[in-house]
Each structure stands twice: as C-alpha cells, then as structure tokens.
C-alpha cells in the first residue's frame, strides 16, 4: 500500500476527530473545530490532489458513521470542500522557458487560487439559497432560527441600556443583523480556509515536505473576470428578500480577493517609507480594532487591479 494512502486516511480521521470535538460541549472545543481543515490542507499540499480527495472522503465517511448524513454534509461543505479544491489546483504546474533559456516549473497562480475559493463560496451559498426556497420563509426566516438573531438583538439592546446609551430600534436592529449574518459567515469561512491553508504550507516548508514553493503573495495578480461576480452581487444586493441577501454574500466573497490584493499593494508601496514597519503595524492594528479600514484596503486592491500601482512603483523605485 502506498505511503501516501496511510497519510490520507490519517489526515481524514484526524480532521473528523477535530470537527467532532464539539460533542464534548467544552468552550475550548471551538479551537479544534477551526483547525479541522488543517490536516486536509497538509495532506494535499504535501502529496497532491489524490491524497486530499481521499482524506476528504475518509473524513466525510467518518462523520457520517459517527453523526449521520446531515452532520457529514455540513462537514464536507465547511471543512473538506475547500482543501480538496484548492490543493488539487495548487498541484497544477507546467514547464516554461525562462529568460536565460533554461526551463523552470511554473505553479498555479495565487490569484487564481483566490478566485477558486471565491467561486466555491458563491456556489455553496447559491445552493443554500436555492434549497431554502423549499422552506417556508426562505433565507430570511432560516437565518434567525439558526443564528438566534432574536436573542442577540435583545442582548445588544440590554447592553446599550446598561451603558447609558440610546437603545436601537428593535425591529431595525433585528433586520440589520439578519442582513449582516450571511455575509459575516461567508467572510469568516473564507478567512478560516485561507488561515488553515497558509498555516499548513508554513508547517510543511519547515518540515521540508512542501510539494510546491510558497505562493508569491506580494506579486500575485487577480483574474479580470472577478469583477463580474462583484458587480452582479452588488446589483442583487439592491433587491429585497432572499435575492438581496444572496447578493450581499456574493459581493462580500468577491471583495475578499481584492482585500488581499490591496494588502499586497500596501506592502510593496510601503518600501518607499522610512518607517515602513510602523506604518504596516498601525494598519493591521486599525484593521483588528475598527474593521472599517478594510474597505480602504479593498479600494486600493480595486485600483491596483486596473491601474497596476505595484508595477508603476517598481519602475519608479530607485
């Protein structure tokens, strides 16, 4: 039996165990759940697409046997689908002729990996929205039940009253929470997938087991077609009901690659500054504390996509 087969089975079982740790009821069990895609990413980034597909199938089968098909579907969608897709694409490579006449291996571009992840998130949320049309009330009725929006609304209003602030209108606050819930979940899922993928690659590089070099984050380029799901999502978000909710999710997912492109642009351009370290540290602190500067970073990413700021900087750099 090939060695990678043992690794695939072990990675799938470990991922299932981490995901199933929620059954313990401990508050600390949330950490293993967040790390459950990590073994799948490590298997795929070390041994390729076949390995991660086997690992994902083993993990899904283990969850099916332990918790039933509904829990297995949730596991596959949330934890297994992204590693299986991204690791399969990351393993693609081709030989190209370098400037010195020598051939070199060119791996699948980082920007297209972001596009695949964005597309996967859009596909998952679109299928969820379509399925929810068979349920009374659709997405608008499902979100409050799953995320306990009513309890969260009362908690926020009570906190506002206890701190001496003016309490928000309950109906408006509830509606705002419903509108922000799915985009927030999509954003969290995407960032969690990226974090697990980056962590897996870093660990494999340290162990000398990485199949491909670490992606060039600062030099990545996004495909031009990403502007279409972004435009479509923004237009859909203007409509009421489930179409608007789905549009907000699509727009959020399509903006995430531009956020990372904006970060890459800031990192490159900041080389001009003497206090580069303080500027970058200040930016990340603002992002963590306030959040809204992320919109500025997204704006920089959108400008970079069409104005090529990094290339202009590289030409002008002394």
101: left (phi over 0), alpha (psi -120 to 50) or beta: left
pLDDT band for position 131 (cuts 50, 70, 90)? confident
Task: Tell me: pLDDT of 308 over 90.
Answer: no
Mean pLDDT confidence for 270-298: 87
Q: Residue 280 in contact with residue 270, Cβ under 8 Å? A: yes
> What mean pLDDT comes out for the span 111-135?
92
pLDDT band at 27 (very low <50, low <70, confident <90, very high): low
Where residue 104 falls among pLDDT bands split at 50, 70, 90? confident
Inform me whether the pLDDT recorded for 252 exceeds 90.
Answer: yes
Burial readout 183-208 (b: 16 or more C-beta within 10 A, e: otherwise): bebbbebbebbbebbeebbebbeeee
Calculate the alpha carbon distances from 253 to 113, 148, 212, 270, 284 in Å. 13, 23, 26, 27, 21
Nearest by Cα to 56 from 13, 3, 118: 13
Distance between CA atoms of 253 and 115, rounded to whole angstroms? 10
Q: Could you tell me which of 104, 106, 103 has the C-alpha nearest to residue 93?
A: 106
pLDDT digits (tens, 9 = 90+) for 167-210: 777 777 777 787 888 899 999 999 999 999 999 999 999 999 99
305: pLDDT strictly greater than 60: yes
pLDDT at 25 over 70: no
Looking at the predicted structure, is the pLDDT value of residue 217 above 90?
no
Instruction: Give the pLDDT confidence score for residue 141 in this predicted structure.
Output: 77
Are 22 and 33 contacting, i.e. CB atoms less than 8 angstroms apart? yes
What integer pLDDT is reported at residue 300 of this predicted model? 93
Residue 1 lies in a domain: no
- Helix pair angle (110-132, 138-147), 10° resolution: 100
Answer yes or no: is 284 within a domain. Answer: yes
The percentage of the chain sitting over the pLDDT mark of 70, rounded to a whole number, equals 94
Residue 14 lies in a domain: no
Does some domain include residue 151? Answer: yes
Q: How confident is the model at residue 317 (pLDDT cuts 50, 70, 90)?
A: very low
Residue 266 structural domain: 92-316
Residue 233 lies in a domain: yes
Calculate the average pLDDT of the chain: 87
- pLDDT confidence tier of residue 133, bands split at 50, 70 and 90: confident
CB 196 within 8 A of CB 139: no
Overall number of domains in the chain: 1
pTM: 0.88
For residue 242, is it within any domain? yes
12 in a domain, yes or no? Answer: no
DSSP single-letter state for residue 103: E
Sequential DSSP letters for 288-300:
HHT-THHHHHHHH
pLDDT at 11: 94
* 188 assigned to some structural domain: yes
Residue 266 has pLDDT above 50, yes or no: yes
The DSSP bridge partners found for residue 103 are 97
pLDDT score of 315: 42
Report, as an integer, the average pLDDT of 5-24.
88
What average pLDDT does this structure show over 18-27?
73
Asked whether the predicted pLDDT for residue 85 surpasses 90, the reply is: yes
Tell me the backbone φ, ψ of residue 103, rounded to 5 degrees.
-85, 145
């Amino acid at each position: 039996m090939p060695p990678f087969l043992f690794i695939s089975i072990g990675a799938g079982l470990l991922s299932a165990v981490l995901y199933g740790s929620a059954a313990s009821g401990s508050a600390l069990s949330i950490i293993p759940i967040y790390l459950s895609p990590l073994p799948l990413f490590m298997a795929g980034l070390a041994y390729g697409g076949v390995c991660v597909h086997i690992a994902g199938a083993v993990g899904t089968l283990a969850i099916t046997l332990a918790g039933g098909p509904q829990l297995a579907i949730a596991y596959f969608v949330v934890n297994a689908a992204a590693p299986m897709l991204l690791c399969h694409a990351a393993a693609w490579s081709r030989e190209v002729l370098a400037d010195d006449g020598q051939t070199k291996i060119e791996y699948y571009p980082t920007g297209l990996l972001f596009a695949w992840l964005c597309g996967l998130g859009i596909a998952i949320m679109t299928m969820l929205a379509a399925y929810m049309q068979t349920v009374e009330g659709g997405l608008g009725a499902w979100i409050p039940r799953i995320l306990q929006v009513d309890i969260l609304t009362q908690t926020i209003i009570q906190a506002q009253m206890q701190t001496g602030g003016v309490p928000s209108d309950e109906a408006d606050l509830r509606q705002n929470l419903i509108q922000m819930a799915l985009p927030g979940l999509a954003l969290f899922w995407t960032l969690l997938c990226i974090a697990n993928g980056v962590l897996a690659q870093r660990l494999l590089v340290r162990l000398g087991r990485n199949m491909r070099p670490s992606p060039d984050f600062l030099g990545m380029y996004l495909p031009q077609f990403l502007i279409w799901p972004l435009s479509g999502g923004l237009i859909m978000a203007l409509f009421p009901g489930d179409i608007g909710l789905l549009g907000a999710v699509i727009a959020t997912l399509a903006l995430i690659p531009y956020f990372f492109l904006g970060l890459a642009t800031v990192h490159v351009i900041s080389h001009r500054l003497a206090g580069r370290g303080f500027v970058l540290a200040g930016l990340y602190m603002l992002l963590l504390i306030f959040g809204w500067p992320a919109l500025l970073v997204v704006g920089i990413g959108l400008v970079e996509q069409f104005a090529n700021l990094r290339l202009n900087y590289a030409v002008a750099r002394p």
